[in-house]
Chains A and B, each alone.
Chain A
Amino acid sequence: MAIAVTRPQARAAFMNRSRWMGILLLIVGLLMFLLFGRGLEPGQEATFGLNPGKDSQAIAIPDLTLPVQPALYALIMLTLFLGGWQLARGFRSAGAVLGIASFFFVTAFLTWAARGKSFNLVGMLSSSLVRATPIALAGLCGVVCERCAVINIAIEGMMLTSAQAAVVVATLTRNLYLGLLAAMLTGAILSAVHAVLSIRFRVDQIVSGTAINIFGAGATSFISARFLEKNVDLLNNSGTFPVVSIPLLSKIPILGPIFFENGIIVYLMFILVVVVHIVLFYTPWGLRTRAVGEHPRAADTLGINVFLTRYVNVIAAGMIAGIGGAYFTIGSVGRFDEIMTAGKGFIGLAAMIFGKWNPFGTFASSLIFGFADSLQIKLQILRVPIPSEFLLMAPYLVTMIVLAGVVGRAIPPAADGQPYVKE
């Protein structure tokens, strides 16, 4: 339900969206000057490491060294120029301008934070991708569900439960792939419950999702307290997927260590992004799915089985969430801790909305969240004088700003969240 905000006509003519954006950019530029531009010692340099570490197969290249003061002034001037141009003439794509300005801001911030020090850029970008993986998988799960009009806020609970299932099965069988399979199965089962509740029983989908989230948190904590804590080596110590380097590609400097030296779950995520995109937009099944999501009655009239489409999609989405859950245990630390997903499922939903219900968009926005996540850890190491708690808030604040529609309005599938009643 849209709430139309009607502005007076005269004001709308001059102060339109584009001009507001220009003012915003000018403020960002000013902020950059106030925050980073003052009190710099001339001649200071910031070193950005471009080689991840000893283990990497990438060809070593020299590190990037920037003179801090000129670099910062250049970035500030560029941002102010963008803002001025946007105010006066307006760029065609406001989103792109905002993206460039954010890039300038982040670069300026990193240069400022790394002044007089060395900062491993490639290492941070690589960990951004790893941290983005569960968010992207959660977002994909959301895309697959919501394209057929089933809202799924249970992703958090599904990931938490499958994370536990993965580590327990992997530890018991000493086989990580069986653990991954168990995680997918667990995700599918919980998703099937959500599907039955919201399709067959037409339960409010958000309530059903909340119930699954509470169940996930309760059940995993219960099992943890009752079994895992006492038998850590027997049940909760699986080891993790090894890093797989893709031959040749991993030798490319910068890109190689970021994209081609990862665990299997990261590669699975890449594959799934592409597969979901192709299935949604280039196959009959995808067309049906989207039809069911936009106008189920019309789809039904054309002979598409609305219920079957929804069941299949929601359960498949649960498997994707299961892979995302497996990342937390067998993909990264090799053991289960209570409530270890820490809201990543919800951030995945935000990534989905930010990505406008498209697989690639979802992936791109999850990268932003992953970047924010890994940035705050790196900044703690650099001892930036900001309390770490505030840096930890950043991803959540970004989510809220994104949801408030800074980058244009996100439009969900038309029938999203409505149960279908066959006539």
Chain B
Amino acid sequence: MSTRGGESREQPQPTAVKRKVVWSQAFQAVLVPALAVLTALIIGAVVIAITDAAVVAAYRNFFTAPGKALAATWQAVRTAYGALFQGSFGNPQELYQAVKVYVATKETGPLWQALWPITESLVAATPYILAGLAVALGFRCGLFNIGVEGQFFMGALASAYIGYRLTTLPTLVHLPLAVLAGALGGALWAAIPGYLKARTGAHEVVNTIMMNWIAFRLSDWLLNGPMKAPGYRPITPQIEPTAELPRFFPAPLRLNVGFLLALATAAVVYWFLFKTTTGFEIRTVGANPRAARYAGMNITRNFVLAMVLSGALAGLAAATQVLGVDHWVGQGFSAGYGFDAIALALLGKSHPLGVVLASLLFGFLRGGATRMQSLAGIPIDIISIIQALVIVFIAAPDIIRWLYRLRAGRGIEELVLTRGWGG
């Protein structure tokens, strides 16, 4: 058993010392993830450089013209990451100009245009926050929910169905109904592997993956049959305007209430996990099921509950995406949110605040990657490579500590993530 629980060995200390300990712990908790992301970005840069034809050509003459080779490398990486930055935050100069224009003439056009990248990044972060919370909640109960992808899909279909099927409802009824439908769709899809795990011990990893594939096939059928919009494309009809999440800015900008909803949900999840009895039970089952059983907790119930809540969060993520951004669902809708969510939960150490920060990071990365693809011709899949590296470095902090010669952190809660096949 690894050392765990900074809470238990707390002794009465002067407040100043205690505060210092808290700060150093917070620093320790942030240091490794930050270095992990940095290292992953550096390796990503190496990948970009060695797969660039111009750079490779320059290195052929490395011994005659080393400067040229290094310059080419710098150029390739700078173009790529420059596009990444501009795509995620926007061009600072452009923003400055736009603000000047707005102050002088009250014209908002350029301002909205300059704000487009950063709002898009926040839009991308919204489903990440909720999906990341879904995986994190599972981790807290010792469950590895790889099925967020499928739950996301089912949630999207459910909320789209309510969104376009029910007409003539007022927004105040229709919108909450559509959001709830999304959560319910995800929850139901997650309940099956949760129940199977609790009842038969069938491992949730394989079962949720199977549920993912079943969800994909089911959605293929639904989008080509019962839920297909008139026309040739396999997509659902547009949802009614009464089911749309309100947007903050005029037309092209898509930032919507969903972002606030995600932040609020993160706060609720924090409260649930750390301030309620049920949350405590879930965490206890996750940390040590045997002890939980001796304490009289119902493991079966907690497994199913954690899985259902996790699925509901995944469905909610989908609902914000459908109702706030796309307004319809098509094939390949989920774009790997479920797998990104795993990285997010690990990066955020399964803590709601950590998940929010990690999601913002990924949102900005993803927002920028689209631009990087169009501007520098770097395939968007580079983000997956970076994500995989981040997961590895977070899961094996010893690598980072060894790379940067850090001392081992003490008193940081180590999370038990998953265990065996549950046999």
Complex: how many Å from CA A3 to CA B142? 14
Q: Is A141 positioned at the interface, with any CB of B under 8 Å from its CB?
A: no
Q: Give the contacting residue for A151; candidates B300, B343, B421; CB below 8 A.
A: B421
Q: Is A417 positioned at the interface, with any CB of B under 8 Å from its CB?
A: yes
Q: Is B196 positioned at the interface, with any CB of A under 8 Å from its CB?
A: yes
**Least CB distance, B143 to chain A, in whole angstroms:** 11
For B389, give the chain A residue with the smallest CB separation: A215
Q: Give the contacting residue for A350; candidates B206, B290, B389, B396; CB below 8 A.
A: B206
Q: Is B214 positioned at the interface, with any CB of A under 8 Å from its CB?
A: yes
Q: Is the CB of B396 within 8 A of A405?
A: no
**Least CB distance, A214 to chain B, in whole angstroms:** 4
Q: Is B423 positioned at the interface, with any CB of A under 8 Å from its CB?
A: yes
Chain A residues near B387: list those with CB within 8 A. 214, 218
Q: Is A225 positioned at the interface, with any CB of B under 8 Å from its CB?
A: yes
Complex: how many Å from CA A334 to CA B198? 43
Q: Is A343 positioned at the interface, with any CB of B under 8 Å from its CB?
A: yes
Chain B residues near A212: list those with CB within 8 A. 388
For B396, give the chain A residue with the smallest CB separation: A201
For B386, give the chain A residue with the smallest CB separation: A218
Q: Is the CB of A215 within 8 A of B199?
A: no
Q: Is the CB of B289 within 8 A of A1?
A: yes
Q: Is the CB of B419 within 8 A of A1?
A: yes
A-B contact pairs, 10 of them (CB 8 A): A206-B417, A206-B418, A213-B339, A218-B387, A219-B385, A226-B51, A343-B209, A396-B213, A397-B214, A405-B201
Q: Is the CB of B209 within 8 A of A218?
A: no
Query: Which residues of B come within 8 Å of A, CB atoms?
Result: 47, 51, 144, 146, 196, 198-203, 205-207, 209-211, 213-214, 217-218, 220-221, 224-225, 289-290, 299-300, 339, 342-343, 346, 378-379, 381-385, 387-389, 391-392, 395-396, 398-399, 417-423
Complex: how many Å from CA A222 to CA B384? 9
Q: Is the CB of A416 within 8 A of B395?
A: no
Q: Sorted from nearest, which 3 A-B pairs have the closest CB atoms?
A: A218-B384, A215-B388, A225-B379
**Least CB distance, B72 to chain A, in whole angstroms:** 17
Q: Give the contacting residue for B203; candidates A225, A403, A411; CB below 8 A.
A: A403
Q: Give the contacting residue for A218; candidates B205, B388, B398; CB below 8 A.
A: B388
Interface-side segment among A92-100, A242-250, A267-275, A387-395: A387-395
Given A153-B205, A210-B391, A404-B196, residue A393 in contact with residue B213 (CB < 8 A)? yes
For B393, give the chain A residue with the smallest CB separation: A211
For A417, give the chain B residue with the smallest CB separation: B420
**Least CB distance, B44 to chain A, in whole angstroms:** 10
Q: Give the contacting residue for B384; candidates A3, A215, A387, A392; CB below 8 A.
A: A215
Q: Is the CB of B205 within 8 A of A206?
A: yes
For A205, give the chain B residue with the smallest CB separation: B418
Q: Is the CB of A412 within 8 A of B346?
A: no
Q: Is A379 positioned at the interface, with any CB of B under 8 Å from its CB?
A: no
Complex: how many Å from CA A162 to CA B206? 22
Q: Is the CB of B382 within 8 A of A218?
A: yes
Given A207-B418, A416-B420, residue A396 in contact with residue B392 (CB < 8 A)? no
Q: Is the CB of A207 within 8 A of B381?
A: no
Complex: how many Å from CA A214 to CA B336? 10
Q: Is A308 positioned at the interface, with any CB of B under 8 Å from its CB?
A: no
Q: Give the contacting residue for A412; candidates B144, B378, B420; CB below 8 A.
A: B420
Q: Is A353 positioned at the interface, with any CB of B under 8 Å from its CB?
A: yes
